[in-house]
Amino acid sequence: MKSSELLKVLEETGAILNGHFLLTSGRHSDRYIEKFRVLENPDSLDKVTQAMADEYRNSNVELVFGAAIGGILIAGGVGRHLGVKHIFSERVDGEMVLRRGFEIPEGTRLLIVEDVITTGGSVFELIKLAQKHKADIVGVVNLVERALEKIDFGVSSKALLHLPSVSWDAENCPLCKSNTPMTQRGRTGK
């Protein structure tokens, strides 16, 4: 899937929203990507996870790893397209952990998947958790990277679409200063 195709899917499904949003990172933005408009549709979910899998098809991936909640669907789709097991982490008391009997065997060639990246905070947490289990991290692949500059995760990283979006800390948010009402869509409670 080309970047232009994904952008078209995001626009057609109403996934790109404008307003005043509190992001998972705690930052504020005037643009939000509601990934579930894409993920709820079986055809678009299949297309994006196929494209994500294709980015690492020849990398001998043994396990696909994502974070609850959006990462569950993505990990499942990418894992299916690569023909490998997929698991997810969950946040417990503010920390990413493995639950439900999931394991990452030492030396496993692991691919981290993510939906939308702004600061990369969740990906860094997934990397830390995978490293704790001594996995061999093949790379990171995500749907949309909102960061103004590419984030260096210390491993191979690929995004299907780069859609740079400005975000601010609360103290410097022009939308707060103009009293624009805020929406907290998708915030994970991090």
* Percent of the chain with pLDDT strictly greater than 90: 63
Residue 182 domain-assigned? Answer: no
- Comparing CA positions, the residue from 172, 187, 175 lying closest to residue 19 is 175
Classify 88 in phi/psi space as left (phi over 0), alpha (psi -120 to 50) or beta.
beta
User: Within 13 Å, how many C-alpha atoms sit on residue 137's CB side?
Assistant: 23
Mean pLDDT of 143-169: 92
Residue 189 reports pLDDT greater than 70: no
Q: How many domains does the chain have?
A: 1
Q: Which residues contact 117 (CB under 8 A, 6 or more apart)?
A: 123, 142, 144, 145, 146, 147, 151, 159
Residue 71 domain-assigned? Answer: yes
Residue 102 domain-assigned? Answer: yes
Q: What is the pLDDT of residue 23?
A: 82
Query: What residue numbers bound the domain in which 58 lies?
Result: 3-177
Classify 2 in phi/psi space as left (phi over 0), alpha (psi -120 to 50) or beta.
beta
Residue 123 reports pLDDT greater than 60: yes
Rg (C-alpha) for the chain, rounded Å, is 16
Residue 190 domain-assigned? Answer: no
Give pTM, 2 decimals.
0.87
User: In sequence order, what are the beta bridge partners of 54?
Assistant: none
Q: Which one has a higher pLDDT value, 69 or 53? A: 53
Mean pLDDT of 119-130: 94
Indicate which CATH number applies to the domain containing 147.
3.40.50.2020
Q: Which residues contact 145 (CB under 8 A, 6 or more apart)?
A: 116, 117, 151, 159, 161, 162, 163
Mean pLDDT of 18-25: 85
Mean pLDDT of 182-189: 62
Question: For residue 5, what are the CA distances in angstroms to 11, 31, 82, 113, 190?
Answer: 10, 19, 22, 20, 31
Residue 142 domain-assigned? Answer: yes
Residue 22 domain-assigned? Answer: yes
Residue 188 reports pLDDT greater than 70: no
Residue 122 reports pLDDT greater than 60: yes
> Residue 119 is encoded by which pair of tokens?
């600061």
Q: What is the pLDDT of residue 140?
A: 98
Residue 46 domain-assigned? Answer: yes
Residue 15 domain-assigned? Answer: yes
Mean pLDDT of 48-66: 97
Question: For residue 111, what are the CA distances in angstroms to 31, 42, 75?
Answer: 28, 22, 9
